[in-house]
Amino acid sequence: MAKPTSASHESWLPEANLTSADFPLTHLPYGAFEHEGRQRLCVAIGAHLLDLYACANSSLLPPSLIEACQAPFLNPLMALGHRSWTLLRETLTSLLHVDAARDRRQGAEAALHSIVGTALVKPALVPNYTDFYASLHHATRVGRIFRPEQPLLPNYKYVPIGYHGRASSIIPSGMPVIRPIGQSRPSNPNEKPNFHATRSLDYELELALYIGQGNLLGTPISITEADSHLFGISLLNDWSARDIQSWEYQPLGPFLGKNFATTISPWITPMAALEPFRVPATPRPKDDPEPLRYLHSEADRQRGNFNVKLEVLLSTSTMRENRLGPYLLSESNLGDLYWTPAQLITHHTSNGCNLQIGDILATGTISGPAEASGGCLLELTRNGTEPRLLPTGETRAFLADGDEIIFRGSCEAPSQPRIGLGECRAMILPARG
């Protein structure tokens, strides 16, 4: 059974103290919700959200934070920088702590809403979206399907491979995804390509790294400074139409196979809440080269990654009709990645490229070393050739209309309350007419 956490992290909101809570007092992830037709910022606590706009209006926040907390997006708060992030987090922690002064607690109580029944929306404006390919396991297994003679390209262990995704089609969790139409490779090279609804719609399990502080064009961010540019993380589903992608992607990379939708989860876990879950960078396999010097720092090697457990679940229409819960497709961990978040930031800016406040750097599909831990169906079903049998007797090579994909994430460490990243979910709707 769920038990209360230790007193020092105790909130006056009892549900936040259950060990099963995603959002204990030590978490306080940022989000945004719709209130009377407007968008407001909030943090999650227990099963509730605390309305930051209302807190700002009730003199519960320091004057320097009021304007940023009244904004509809997190970008102004991000722009204020670390001291302000720490100040806000300390203020909110003491406000929700069991020892909070009575009048402040009453003020906060008036700004609480149940998360259930609230419309959560995108909490940040995302000027640029970059997608990396940081899982060696994913890259190797995907490579084995398409290039069995050379699964891993010679650049992989030196270059944190990435490309620019589409910022305009980033959508909030819960918004359905319409099955895209597009060209795919003709079965006979002398025929015209097909043009129809994708037959190999896939998800990709990723984490979004939100940039809270940018850099000037022409000014790289060193590996020792990279961490300080991060604001927080959330779950991200980089939907992929494998047949469209495989026909279009040479020589300039993925385009229409990806840019029809990218789903992000509503809660951004601040880096401060992740500190207790730091782990060493994944040790490189014995014969692998060391990273080039600009990508190496001893501190990053020793504690540059995070223990974030991830799950992918599938709910089909048949499961829902039969009142069956979603089915666990796979599990993996952010710690499985070959490159750390700091290495991704440093590589991205090594040529002088400027990151902007609110940018998302996605990790790429997070797959573990085991075959069963693949973060997409392309891996789990070997490009659809080995369909997965579901408990309903259904099979899936790729996603069917009506399927809902749900990502969950959580962090655990000794003597620390567990935190959960919430959910990133979306249902597939049939292609348009």
- 167 near a copy of itself (CB under 8 A): yes
Distances (CA, A) of 4 to 7, 19, 100, 284: 8, 6, 18, 39
Of the candidate spans 112-120, 168-176, 324-332, 418-426, the one that interacts with a copy of itself by CB under 8 A turns out to be: 168-176
Candidate residues 347, 396, 408, 418; the one interacting with a copy of itself per rule CB under 8 A? 347
d(CA 55, CA 52): 5
Q: Which residues pair with 194 in a beta bridge?
A: 184
**SS3 (DSSP) at 269:** strand
d(CA 194, CA 244): 10
- 81 near a copy of itself (CB under 8 A): no
Residues 29-48 that bind a copy of itself (CB under 8 A): none
- 251 near a copy of itself (CB under 8 A): yes
Q: Are 177 and 429 in contact (CB under 8 A)?
A: yes
- 181 near a copy of itself (CB under 8 A): yes
- In terms of CB distance, is 164 or 372 closer to a copy of itself? 164
- In terms of CB distance, is 292 or 389 closer to a copy of itself? 292
- 133 near a copy of itself (CB under 8 A): yes
- In terms of CB distance, is 168 or 385 closer to a copy of itself? 168
- 217 near a copy of itself (CB under 8 A): yes
- 253 near a copy of itself (CB under 8 A): yes
- 168 near a copy of itself (CB under 8 A): yes
d(CA 121, CA 266): 6
Candidate residues 31, 107, 220, 341; the one interacting with a copy of itself per rule CB under 8 A? 220
Shortest CB 193 distance to a copy of itself, Å = 5
Residues 256-285 that bind a copy of itself (CB under 8 A): 256-257, 259-261
Candidate residues 4, 62, 127, 402; the one interacting with a copy of itself per rule CB under 8 A? 127
**SS3 (DSSP) at 406:** strand
**Helices within 249-380 (DSSP H only):** 271-274, 298-303, 317-321, 341-349, 377-380
Candidate residues 7, 102, 149, 155; the one interacting with a copy of itself per rule CB under 8 A? 155
Of the candidate spans 5-13, 55-63, 156-164, 411-419, the one that interacts with a copy of itself by CB under 8 A turns out to be: 156-164
d(CA 63, CA 51): 16
- 128 near a copy of itself (CB under 8 A): yes
Assign 3-class secondary structure to 141-184.
Answer: HHHHHHCCCCCCCCCCCCCCCEEECCCCCEEECCCCEECCEEEE
Q: Are 242 and 202 in contact (CB under 8 A)?
A: yes
Shortest CB 356 distance to a copy of itself, Å = 5
Give how many residues touch a copy of itself by CB under 8 A.
64
Shortest CB 199 distance to a copy of itself, Å = 14
Per-residue contact flags (x/-) with a copy of itself for residues 231 to 250, judged by CB under 8 A: ----------x--x--xxxx
Candidate residues 206, 238, 359, 423; the one interacting with a copy of itself per rule CB under 8 A? 359
Catalytic pick among 27, 48, 138, 347: 138
Enter the DSSP assignment of 380.
H
Neighbours of 68 (CB within 10 A): 21
200 phi/psi in degrees, rounded to 5: -140, 65
Of the candidate spans 24-32, 60-68, 81-89, 155-163, the one that interacts with a copy of itself by CB under 8 A turns out to be: 155-163
**SS3 (DSSP) at 303:** helix
Q: Which residues make Cβ contacts (< 8 Å) with residue 299, sequence separation at least 6?
A: 224
- Cα–Cα nearest to 171, from 259, 241, 255, 254: 259
In the residue annotation, 348 being an active-site residue is answered as: no
d(CA 51, CA 363): 30
Q: Which residues make Cβ contacts (< 8 Å) with residue 238, sequence separation at least 6?
A: 131, 165, 203, 204, 206, 258, 262, 362, 364, 365
- 180 near a copy of itself (CB under 8 A): yes
Interaction site with a copy of itself (CB under 8 A): 127-128, 131, 133, 143, 153-155, 158-159, 161-169, 171, 178, 180-183, 185, 189, 192-193, 195, 217-218, 220, 241, 244, 247-257, 259-261, 289, 292-294, 347-348, 350-356, 359, 432
Which residue numbers are catalytic? 138
